[in-house]
Amino acid sequence: MTGTVFFLLLVGFVVLVFLFRDEMYEQIDVNLSNTMQTLCVEVEEYIDDANWSSICDEVRELESAGILSHFWEVRKSKGHMICGSDFEGVNSSEFSAKVNVDKYHSFYLKNGKHIRTLTKRIPLKSETFLITIGADQEEFDEAMARFLIIAIITVILILFLTLILISLILKRGLRPLSAFGNHIASIEVESLNDEFDMKHFPVELHPFGNHFNTLLKRLAASFERERRINADIAHELRTPIAELRLSAETALKWPKSRDGMVDRETLAIAKQMESTVEHMLALARSEGGNLVSIPEEIQLDLLIKDCWKPFSQRSLQLQQIISVESSDLTLETDPYLLQSILRNLFENAVCYTPKGGTINISTFYNPTGELSISVTNTVSDLTTEDVEHVFERYWRKEASRAPEGNHLGLGLAIVKTFSQANGFEAKALIPQSGWFSIVLTAIRK
């Protein structure tokens, strides 16, 4: 930036100097030209007669009258000087050697004088004569020198002021950015909710700041979700760990009270913890976008029956009434994801349907022609308000535990995310009082 400014100033300075010099020269040249014209007019009548004596006298008269205040010379074109002014010790041959005919010409003489000349050619009957007038450029040189000094000083001052001004403007202009940067540097995990107060920043930074605030909100939500997940995991694993510990400590303290049930219970607890961790990992993977759906053609009714098998015994024990209506349909979907979805739905249905209740599993085409899979069961206490929460992780109607075993409230959260990854939309509804339904609808691409 400074270099550019300096370069521009230098170029400007040089241009100015040349312009000034040319202007000065123009004034001298006009003066020389006018003087030459006057001279030519005065000697015109003598030229035709080649009356050189009269010409010289006329020119000397003009010089004496102060009209011609320049150096002058009349000479033959072939070098012979007829008459001229006193050049103050200047050798006339040196003077004449340096002049240019019909042109303005500046040069230095041996005595150091700076002269600008104009030479006019006067053609006569048999030969050509040259009249040369010259102006002393001493004043011109002095004026140029003064101009140069002033210009240089001005340029230096301008450069100096520019540097200071640029520095001040930049500092002032960058202050909001610096404040912005300081605020960003001070952000920590605990202060993600501290948004930028855009009132303190210039309007130009508002879009930037607003986007940043949005990003901070998303980051805060993400951290909060992670904190909650970690807290939930810790919370959910505490009880099975407490059960294991209690079982082991009781067996150690009262060895005689130990029986086969203890080992069976220990195994059951371990399996429950394993299931807990697997559910949590599955959900974390699905929410992290790491699920990849690899579709292949499957027989939907066979898959449904296959997934229902592990639950049929338990359902029978609970005297639940089961109905499976699934047509012979071929579907292109990821079978592993769909299996996981269906197992979670069936687990949920069997667990939360009251003893003697009903579970209906069916496949159908909805009015818009999309394939749907529905799992509907009777419930004892679910309301329309509850339906809004069923897909939330760890949500359970009773904040403690489900009647059968320990349910984390992750099954339907997994159903939701797995469905999204597998091209289904999962919806929960209360079709009528006392019933709860989850419907998966294949999304058309």
By the criterion CB under 8 A, which residues form the site for other proteins? 235, 238-239, 241-247, 249-250, 253-254, 257, 265, 269, 398-401, 406
* AA identity, residue 237: L
Closest CA to 178 of 166, 170, 188, 168: 170
| Least separation in angstroms between CB 318 and other proteins | 17
C-alpha 81/C-alpha 92 separation (Å) is 8
Instruction: Specify the residue, 236 or 334, whose C-beta has the smaller distance to other proteins.
Output: 236
Instruction: Specify the residue, 249 or 296, whose C-beta has the smaller distance to other proteins.
Output: 249
Residue 188 DSSP code: -
| Least separation in angstroms between CB 235 and other proteins | 5
| Least separation in angstroms between CB 234 and other proteins | 8
104 has which bridge partners? 118
| Least separation in angstroms between CB 246 and other proteins | 4
Instruction: Specify the residue, 272 or 372, whose C-beta has the smaller distance to other proteins.
Output: 272
Task: Specify the length of the chain in residues.
Answer: 445
| Least separation in angstroms between CB 227 and other proteins | 12
Q: Dihedral sign for Cα 221, 226, 227, 228, please.
A: positive
C-alpha 443/C-alpha 423 separation (Å) is 6
Instruction: Specify the residue, 285 or 397, whose C-beta has the smaller distance to other proteins.
Output: 397
Instruction: Specify the residue, 235 or 389, whose C-beta has the smaller distance to other proteins.
Output: 235
C-alpha 347/C-alpha 318 separation (Å) is 13
Structure tokens at 19: 């312009």
Instruction: Specify the residue, 86 or 259, whose C-beta has the smaller distance to other proteins.
Output: 259
Instruction: Specify the residue, 300 or 382, whose C-beta has the smaller distance to other proteins.
Output: 382
| Least separation in angstroms between CB 250 and other proteins | 5
| Least separation in angstroms between CB 237 and other proteins | 9
Q: C-alpha distances in angstroms, 186 versus 190, 241, 284, 360?
A: 11, 40, 30, 57
Closest CA to 51 of 120, 124, 119, 121: 124
Helix (H, G, I), strand (E, B) or coil at 246: helix
Q: Dihedral sign for Cα 275, 278, 280, 286, please.
A: negative
Do residues 331 and 293 touch, judged by C-beta distance below 8 A?
A: no
C-alpha 38/C-alpha 44 separation (Å) is 10
| Least separation in angstroms between CB 287 and other proteins | 24
Give phi and psi for 50, each to the nearest 5.
55, 40
- Contacts of 102-108 with C-beta under 8 Å, sequence gap 24+, read 104/25, 104/28, 104/29, 104/32, 106/25, 106/137
Residue 101 DSSP code: B
Structure tokens at 96: 């004449």
Do residues 375 and 345 touch, judged by C-beta distance below 8 A?
A: yes
| Least separation in angstroms between CB 245 and other proteins | 5
| Least separation in angstroms between CB 239 and other proteins | 6
Instruction: Specify the residue, 218 or 238, whose C-beta has the smaller distance to other proteins.
Output: 238
Helix (H, G, I), strand (E, B) or coil at 349: helix
Instruction: Specify the residue, 121 or 264, whose C-beta has the smaller distance to other proteins.
Output: 264
Instruction: Specify the residue, 243 or 287, whose C-beta has the smaller distance to other proteins.
Output: 243
